Structure 1
């Protein structure tokens, strides 16, 4: 494909997906429906309407394909808030939602910006992981994910908030008596090997046959090989009729069928039957996206992972067999034996409508619906393949899910498009979440579920964990702690209510600010904000679990292992006062206000627009509040365009330093406290390689 053809194809793909996503929101009956939550664990739908557009802007900025933001307020408001991570900030008190009309107008601005990039930006091939244009595909595929997740939220919305749309009509369900639904049966699957993963993300081709040069998320790269023992699998997905036997047997009331996590969900939700089943005077109905229909008993049941697992425990008790959910490896074994290829029509949405279809409608080899119809839960928590590497402009796609709390779903559903429909795709959700997802069961040996490493071995993250919480080297005191101590001394005699640690990395300074100096109280509340989800995830793990383990590189592939705990660090009593959020220092959300102290340690020379940060930070600090800045002033074009460097060059023939620039930008709203201080720090790279740097620390007080 030449350049002109590629631009034309990519533009068509973008426009089709962008239009389809907007058409989905036509299923909302009124503007009011955008602002009411479908479920308590999610934002209202207005967030998701704006979120996918904001994602395009944020990623194209990181890829340097657009020069500036389109709407900074929206691009902070709609940036984060999709999963149940602590930094997602689902507190509605922090949000002042715009109108539907304003978001529609914003989406049009984003459409125009992306179109200009596709049609006018300079092109250099191939379209691969390392190409800035990968960000365009990332935005499209991200919107396709939300096409599906938003359709589930619409399905969970109040019925009076939604309306059928001609382009989103379900399959016409034919009445089938429950007893007439085809009986499921087990099919033997011979032992065999499976290979998962696309190999090196930086290579042009992928390891999976037939999937070269296709877009992939970072968790698909790397490699996993497994010998799968023989097992048996249900020929069809579990139908509503088959699941009814579990409901009628009192399966939702019997604690013994549920594991501890599942039982907690069942009691919290007060569930007595599948969420999309509706009990009516004359029998069961099924809630579809925009309507309720008489129960199609031959359609697949749609449940969460806890319900699917409980059914399997019940089925095992009834049959005396070892019934369970399949592993990811076993699903790949079914796929490889089915005869499906990436070009097989069954890979696409086959139903002809926007809903599931009968479980015996589409045969694929000896099975039905190996792909398509509804997603299928596995018992495998998602894990990184060997050689995994987070994509540099979206490091929070996969890493936060490598926590054993997110199980893989396989096969796609009737609404799955793009990457979701590929063999290599690896999507995972929390086990209590609902998607258009059902399950099939297997009988066989105990599952060989890959174990997620308990030691964080991301090299950069391990270095920062050691920098913040590990031992000191060459008699240089712990830098994050030293910054906190200087900041706390600067606050003596001032209120210490709220502090912001912006660019907090893995959070040591935040903890120290909450703990306070010896014999003195710390801050009542400390918010740590960082752009990197990897850093925030580790800090949050320390708060949540009280322990973090990581692996340091000694030399080559040799490692040393470290363990840090809140108790050993002395942070047990103060951790409840600390919270960590993901955010952009140059575009913070509006609710970051009224801080008594803001600490920005080694941040300004890593920002894409440090002048903007300095010019706006006074808006976040109370009168009389304190700003603490540290930086080694290491200006690099990979982080900050040269035109945006604060200092480190000549101006009018004279040396112009970063300290000169700080005075120029801050003098309007701040006055310096004391003289600049040098604070050294050491970062361990390997057992015999260290970075020894010296940051300059300055303190500033906001004046009236």
Structure 2
């Protein structure tokens, strides 16, 4: 890619991210922007100004060497200084001020992009700092989308329906032969530090579900008394099930003999053929035990997603090395729901596994750890401070994840109790030759 092409690609990614941030914040009035819709989430106006502040810190001040725009607000928008529950009480920028601030920062960023050599310094090599900021904004856009799911009131977000399932008769699971494969990356220019470096991992043979677990399958677990049977739950999972009084995925409620869910302000019957979403790790783990299976590990998931047994190499994405298109995966908030299980045949992996990217983040039975040879870059607070904490891995992205943050090596993590995120799962099992 030439320098001109790279600058154009960066500008397009920055504009795509900002367009999405604008749609998410313009969809509601100022009262909704400053309100905290859940103690799990920041007010939408905090997210917006935080996006601008991170952009100012890294691109205007560091990369561009420019004078600060609003150094006086750095502490207010430092995510490590103030827990989400406390942020509404801070003297935050109001919606008008926040919008003006992010516009001013972005104008300076485009000037920095025009004038900065994208080489010679690790932070700017191949536009890394700009890519990091694009991913940061898109991650907060998905967080803001989750906040919209938590708000009450009439629907304000709208999108077309996702494509239907292919109609093919798919196998329930596929076999992945044991052996080594290359996990992680040392070449992806915008890969973040926890994805690096590429390294060989040995994985034993296993079976993995062809598609994510559907609402219909999960309803069978509920109907079988899965939430009331301690046999299927780990000790910690059972304790949380009782503490939180879990009886179904978040946003579900009984309606006579059936079930309804609330989705971005719309109350609707549960679509049985969609991947289940808004379940925590403990619920996913209990379902897998009830089904006689388990959750995949992170190396298993990545091998099923990336490894091509014919060539012996790991792909960038399940379908190959080309960037995602609307035919490959349900990404970028193009739709406001997962597509039915079995959709996107062009997005399947070399093993024939579907919907590994997009639709729902997938809980994995692995803790968040560094790869061998990990080096924090460009700051410890992105990954290193979270290693060893109470986190479980999530891979693959959701319908609310942008293509900039969903390559086959991208790693996400969260507390195992989290249910407001767009997370589902698929199952795996050991291979026994007998």
Q: TM-score band (shorter)? A: 0.7 to 0.9
Deviations 1:4-32 (A, max 9, x none): 4433332222112111122122343x222
Which residues of structure 1 form unaligned runs of 5+? 200-205, 317-322, 447-704
Query: Which residue does the alignment assign to 2:358?
Result: 372
CA distance in 2, matches of 1:63, 1:400: 22
* RMSD, aligned CA: 3.0
Q: Does 1:221 align with 2:190?
A: no
For residues 331 and 174 of structure 1, do their structure 2 counterparts lie closer, same or farther at Cα, with a shift above 3 Å needed? closer
Of residues 177, 196, 201, the one that matches 1:190 is: 177
Deviations 1:367-401 (A, max 9, x none): 22122221211101121111111113x32010122
1:194–1:332 contact (8 Å) kept in structure 2: no
Query: Which residue does the alignment assign to 2:311?
Result: none
CA distance in 1, matches of 2:377, 2:164: 46
Query: Which residue does the alignment assign to 2:302?
Result: 332
Deviations 1:287-315 (A, max 9, x none): 22342322111000011211101111222
CA distance in 2, matches of 1:340, 1:402: 30
CA distance in 2, matches of 1:329, 1:174: 30
Of residues 427, 430, 449, the one that matches 2:415 is: 430
Number of positions where the alignment pairs a residue of Structure 1 with one of Structure 2: 413
Q: Secondary structure at the match of 1:324?
A: coil
For residues 172 and 67 of structure 1, do their structure 2 counterparts lie closer, same or farther at Cα, with a shift above 3 Å needed? closer
Bigger Rg over Cα? 1
Query: Which residue does the alignment assign to 1:362?
Result: 344
Q: How does 1:312-327 map to 2 (within 5 A)?
A: 312-316=288-292, 323-327=293-297
Query: Which residue does the alignment assign to 2:30?
Result: 31
Q: How does 1:639-650 map to 2 (within 5 A)?
A: none
Query: Which residue does the alignment assign to 2:381?
Result: 396
2:118–2:126 contact (8 Å) kept in structure 1: no
Deviation at 1:244, TM superposition (A): 0.4
CA distance in 1, matches of 2:24, 2:87: 24
For residues 11 and 243 of structure 1, do their structure 2 counterparts lie closer, same or farther at Cα, with a shift above 3 Å needed? same
For residues 189 and 60 of structure 1, do their structure 2 counterparts lie closer, same or farther at Cα, with a shift above 3 Å needed? same
1:231–1:442 contact (8 Å) kept in structure 2: yes
Of residues 222, 225, 233, the one that matches 1:258 is: 233
CA distance in 1, matches of 2:286, 2:307: 28
Query: Which residue does the alignment assign to 1:415?
Result: 400
Of residues 242, 249, 252, the one that matches 1:277 is: 252
Deviation at 1:130, TM superposition (A): 5.9
Q: Compute the TM-score of the two structures, normalised by the length of structure 1.
A: 0.54
CA distance in 2, matches of 1:407, 1:270: 21
CA distance in 1, matches of 2:156, 2:219: 28
Q: Does 1:80 align with 2:79?
A: yes
CA distance in 2, matches of 1:232, 1:258: 22
Q: Does 1:97 align with 2:92?
A: yes
Query: Which residue does the alignment assign to 2:6?
Result: 6
Deviation at 1:331, TM superposition (A): 0.9
Deviation at 1:262, TM superposition (A): 2.3
CA distance in 1, matches of 2:182, 2:92: 46
Which one is further off, 396-405 or 378-387?
A: 396-405
1:300–1:358 contact (8 Å) kept in structure 2: yes
Of residues 147, 151, 158, the one that matches 2:145 is: 151
Deviations 1:670-699 (A, max 9, x none): xxxxxxxxxxxxxxxxxxxxxxxxxxxxxx
Query: Which residue does the alignment assign to 1:22?
Result: 22
Query: Which residue does the alignment assign to 1:310?
Result: 286
2:34–2:94 contact (8 Å) kept in structure 1: no
For residues 122 and 369 of structure 1, do their structure 2 counterparts lie closer, same or farther at Cα, with a shift above 3 Å needed? closer
Which residues of structure 2 form unaligned runs of 5+? 309-317
Q: Does 1:444 align with 2:430?
A: yes
CA distance in 1, matches of 2:88, 2:45: 15
For residues 295 and 79 of structure 1, do their structure 2 counterparts lie closer, same or farther at Cα, with a shift above 3 Å needed? same
CA distance in 2, matches of 1:92, 1:18: 23
Of residues 336, 341, 346, the one that matches 2:320 is: 341
1:127–1:134 contact (8 Å) kept in structure 2: no
1:381–1:407 contact (8 Å) kept in structure 2: yes
Query: Which residue does the alignment assign to 1:241?
Result: 216
1:410–1:427 contact (8 Å) kept in structure 2: yes
Query: Which residue does the alignment assign to 2:313?
Result: none
For residues 227 and 118 of structure 1, do their structure 2 counterparts lie closer, same or farther at Cα, with a shift above 3 Å needed? same
Query: Which residue does the alignment assign to 2:312?
Result: none
CA distance in 2, matches of 1:385, 1:80: 25
Structure having the larger proportion of residues in strand? 1
Deviations 1:83-118 (A, max 9, x none): xxx863732575123321221111111221212211
Q: How does 1:123-142 map to 2 (within 5 A)?
A: 123-125=117-119, 128-129=122-123, 131=125, 134-142=128-136
Query: Which residue does the alignment assign to 2:106?
Result: 111
Q: Secondary structure at the match of 1:428?
A: strand
CA distance in 1, matches of 2:388, 2:57: 26
For residues 391 and 436 of structure 1, do their structure 2 counterparts lie closer, same or farther at Cα, with a shift above 3 Å needed? same
